[in-house]
């Protein structure tokens, strides 16, 4: 097997530096009770929430633009934002004045006011945390990149779950690693944990 020599970001001369919290927007993606219990419980969800909470506290202190995203799929689903299951986890709940986006598709930009809100705030650099790494974090980071934003994904503040694959179950740890590697090849700067994001 060939050992990769460089990412596409490196080969095309794109920056590998993470966004600083100051002057950036922190996008908290689907940090909902959905992912802490029941059928959608994620592997390593509690450490990810702890990292996201520290990141949120630091962003508030830095005066960052903060956006909380919730996925809505209707009554009776694990994504019912009008029920406790679909509520944002208490540890990272929005404070008054922090923008909230409700989405119905994996990308936080599709069918929402997120792009308009970020443009209005004059923000280009984004710091992303949340769930699930392979789905909504992935889709949001790719949309952000394609719209001209510069996303940084905080790996330790994300999590995912095992999935069925064509050759058997793909473990959550493998899917997590592959999802982050795919993003870091082009679409985002990926850092190990919240302490890797400068103030």
Kindly list the catalytic residues: 30, 103, 136
- Answer for the pair 8, 182: CB distance below 8 angstroms, yes or no: no
CA distance 63 to 158: 22
CA 194 to chain centre: 12
Count of Cβ atoms closer than 10 Å to residue 37 Cβ:
12
For 115-171, strand residue ranges (E) read 125-131, 150-159, 163-165, 168-170
Quick one: DSSP state of residue 196?
G
In whole angstroms, how far apart are CA 40 and each of 45, 78, 101, 167? 11, 8, 21, 22
Tokens of 185: 């090849």
CA distance 55 to 51: 6
CA distance 82 to 85: 8
């Amino acid at each position: 097997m060939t050992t990769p020599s460089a990412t596409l970001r490196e080969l095309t001369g794109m920056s590998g530096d993470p966004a600083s919290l100051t002057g950036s927007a922190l996008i908290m993606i689907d940090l909902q009770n959905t992912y802490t219990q029941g059928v959608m419980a994620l592997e390593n969800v509690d450490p990810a929430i702890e990292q996201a909470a520290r990141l949120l506290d630091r962003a508030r202190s830095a005066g960052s633009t903060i956006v909380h995203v919730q996925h809505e799929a209707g009554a009776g689903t694990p994504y019912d934002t009008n029920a406790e299951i679909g509520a944002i986890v208490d540890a990272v709940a929005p404070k008054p004045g922090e923008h909230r986006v409700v989405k119905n598709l994996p990308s936080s930009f599709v069918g929402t006011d997120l792009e308009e809100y970020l443009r209005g705030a004059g923000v280009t650099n984004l710091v992303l945390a949340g769930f699930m790494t392979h789905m909504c974090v992935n889709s949001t980071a790719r949309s952000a990149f394609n719209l001209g934003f510069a996303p940084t994904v905080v790996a330790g503040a994300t999590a995912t779950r095992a999935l069925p694959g064509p050759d058997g179950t793909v473990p959550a740890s493998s899917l997590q690693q592959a999802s982050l590697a795919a993003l870091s090849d082009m679409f985002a700067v990926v850092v190990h944990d919240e302490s890797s994001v400068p103030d």
